Chains A and B, each alone.
Chain A
Amino acid sequence: EPEVTQTPSHQVTQMGQEVILRCVPISNHLYFYWYRQILGQKVEFLVSFYNNEISEKSEIFDDQFSVERPDGSNFTLKIRSTKLEDSAMYFCASQTSNQPQHFGDGTRLSIL
């Protein structure tokens, strides 16, 4: 079965540094999402992306965050200047019509 793949599985970064989290959605999917889960908390929506533009973003998704689909396969989340509170598990998801969203295994981001 096709999968959403995320890299790296674990990223350790110094506070203030830029980080890019990468995702390869399922190839025929057109809708893409990023979520995050702070340790011990529920999963929260960050941003959705369709037709090469953001369709919705949450309050969490401030100017430090950006998303990009640089080619036909990758979907990236960039955090420009990381803060301690950005430490979380970040999940990418993709969806096609009337099917559940498929989630990647996540990238655990640790900010030191």
Chain B
Amino acid sequence: KNEVEQSPQNLTAQEGEFITINCSYSVGISALHWLQQHPGGGIVSLFMLSSGKKKHGRLIATINIQEKHSSLHITASHPRDSAVYICAVQKTSYDKVIFGPGTSLSVIP
């Protein structure tokens, strides 16, 4: 069984739409990460969460520790947001990162 699940697997949105990507995990964690991977392959950290909510520009990430669930929201989506968004967890501070399968987002002008 995968320790990190994401939905949806693929998402197509019109420019300007509000987007939500969901993540659920089945293990105890010290941190949850949202990462972005562009077609070139590089991985960029967007958020690291252990509780509550974080906001950076048009991106918002929330986590519910009791429900083992996190969401990534993108407001006023733009074609440059098109990428794969990956939810990942760490069980302890310096542990390996356990990756989810990713959500492929395409924002159409």
Interfacial residues, chain A to chain B (CB-CB below 8 A)? 31, 33, 35, 37, 42-45, 48, 50, 55-56, 58, 89, 91, 93, 95, 97-106, 108
Contacts and interface: CB of A to CB of B under 8 A. Distances in A.
Contact of B48 (A45, A58, A93, A99): A99
Contact of B43 (A31, A98, A103): A103
Contacts of B33: 100-101
Given A42-B101, A42-B102, A44-B99, A95 B41 contact: no
Contacts of A45: 96-98
B94 A43 contact: no
Contacts of B42: 103-106
Nearest to A48: B96
A9 to B, nearest CB: 9
Given A42-B100, A42-B102, A44-B99, A101 B93 contact: no
Interface residues of B, number: 22
Nearest to B31: A100
Contacts of A33: 96-97
B52 interface: no
Interface string B16-41: 00000000000000010101000011
Interface string B56-88: 000000000000000000000000000000101
Nearest to A104: B42
30 contacts: A35-B99, A37-B41, A42-B86, A43-B43, A43-B86, A43-B88, A43-B97, A44-B99, A48-B96, A50-B94, A55-B94, A56-B95, A58-B96, A89-B41, A91-B43, A93-B97, A95-B94, A97-B93, A98-B93, A101-B45, A102-B45, A103-B35, A103-B42, A103-B43, A103-B44, A104-B42, A105-B40, A105-B42, A106-B42, A106-B43
